[in-house]
Amino acid sequence: MRKKIIAGNWKMNMSFDEAEDLLFNIVDKLDPNLPKNIEVVVCPPAIFMELATDVADDSLMKIGGQNISNHESGAYTGEISASMLGSLEVDYCIIGHSERRKYFKESNQLIGEKVTVALKNGIKAIFCCGELLNEREAQNHFAIVKTQIEEALFHLDEKSFRSVVIAYEPVWAIGTGVNATPQQAQEMHAYIRKLISGKYGAEIADITTILYGGSCNSQNAKELFANPDVDGGLIGGASLDAEEFLKIINSI
C-alpha cells in the first residue's frame, strides 16, 4: 500500500513563540491511532528546525525543510546543506517549490541537483511541479509537468526514486483560494503516475506518493483526497492553524 502524506509548508511565516505553539498544538492533538500508512509532515522555516525536531521527537509528526543547497558543504554563505538537515534528524525536504522557481530562478537542472544531494544524505525529497495559469490556458500543462519531472528527477536510479514524493502544485492555485478541481487534480496525478511507470515500471509508479497542493483546505480536502491518484496534500496557508491542519489530516 502506498504512503499517504499530509505535509504543511509554513513558508516564511511564524515567530519562534508562534512556531512553538503551533508545533505543540499539532503534536498534542494528532490522533494516536493514525493509520500506519498516513504520515504527517511539518515544514517550518529552517531557523525553527531544531525546535521542530525536538517537539516532534517520539511523536507521529515528521519534520521537513523547505529548501536546501545543491552543494554538499563549503563557502556558500547563508545556505543550508542536506547533511545539516540530516544531522537534526529531519526526514523530508521540499525541493523545487514554484516560489523558489519564480523568485530564486531555480531551474529544473538545479532542482535535480538538490534532489540528488538530499537523497544522498538520507533526506526524502518532496519534489514540486506544476504549471502557470497561461500554460494551462494554452493546454500546455501536461507538457510542462512532464519536462519538470524528466529534467529534475529522471536521472535518478530506481532505488533513489523510491525516496521521492511528488507534489503537483498548479501555480495558479497557490495562495489564490482557487484550488484545482478534484477532476483536474486526478487527471494530472494519473498522468504523472503514468510517466513514472514509463520510466521506472508499474511497481514503482504504484508506490509513489503524489500530493496535491494549491489552496487546499478543510473544506475541499476530502473531495480532493477521494481521488485514486491523490495521496494527500502539501498545504500552505491552511497549515498555519492547528485546528484547520488537523481537520485536513482527518480528511484523508
Write out the catalytic residue numbers.
Answer: 97, 169
Sort strands 92-95 and 124-129 into parallel, antiparallel or unpaired. parallel
- Single out the residue of 237, 245, 249, 251 in contact with ligand 13P (rule: CB under 6 A): 237
Nearer to ligand 13P (CB atom), residue 83 or residue 219: 219
Does residue 2 contact residue 210 with C-beta atoms inside 8 Å? no
232 scored as a contact of ligand 13P (CB under 6 A): no
Contact 7, 250 (CB under 8 A): no
Phi, psi of 191 (to 5 degrees): -65, -45
CA dihedral of 57, 63, 69, 70, whole degrees rounded to 10: 110
Q: How far is the CB of 202 from ligand 13P (least distance, A)?
A: 28
Contacts of 41 (CB under 8 A, 6+ apart): 5, 6, 7, 8, 61, 62, 63, 64, 91, 92, 126
Q: What is the dihedral of CA 107, 110, 112, 113, to 10 degrees?
A: 180
Q: Which residues contact 14 (CB under 8 A, 6 or more apart)?
A: 22, 44, 45, 48, 240
Q: Give the shortest CB-58-to-ligand 13P separation in angstroms.
A: 27
Nearest residue (beta carbon) to ligand 13P: 236
Nearer to ligand 13P, 125 or 234 (CB): 234
The terminus-to-terminus CA distance of the chain in angstroms comes to 15
Q: Whole-number minimum distance, CB 120 to ligand 13P, in Å?
A: 23
Q: Which residues within the stretch 170-229 sit at the binding site for ligand 13P (CB under 6 A)?
A: 174-175, 213-216
What DSSP assignment string belongs to 142-191?
Answer: HHHHHHHHHHHHTTS-HHHHTTEEEEE--GGGTTTS-PPPHHHHHHHHHH
Segment lying near ligand 13P (by CB under 6 A), choices 21-29, 100-108, 169-177, 201-209: 169-177
Among 6, 235, 249, 252, binds ligand 13P (CB under 6 A): 235
- Residue 134 or 176 with smaller CB distance to ligand 13P: 176
User: Based on CB atoms, which residue is closest to ligand 13P, 153 or 173?
Assistant: 173
| Given 152, 234, 248, 249, the residue binding ligand 13P (CB under 6 A) | 234
106: which residues sit within 8 A by CB, 6+ positions away?
96, 100
In the range 83-102, which residues lie near ligand 13P by CB under 6 A? 97
β partners of residue 42: 8, 63
Binding footprint of ligand 13P, residue count (CB under 6 A):
14
- Contact range with ligand 13P by CB under 6 A, out of 27-35, 156-164, 230-238, 242-250: 230-238
The binder of ligand 13P chosen from 39, 169, 231, 244 (CB under 6 A): 169
Nearer to ligand 13P, 23 or 238 (CB): 238
Closer to ligand 13P by Cβ: residue 93 or 174: 174
Is-contact 241 249, C-beta < 8 A?
no
Q: Which stretches of the chain bind ligand 13P, using CB under 6 A? A: 9, 97, 169, 174-175, 213-216, 234-238
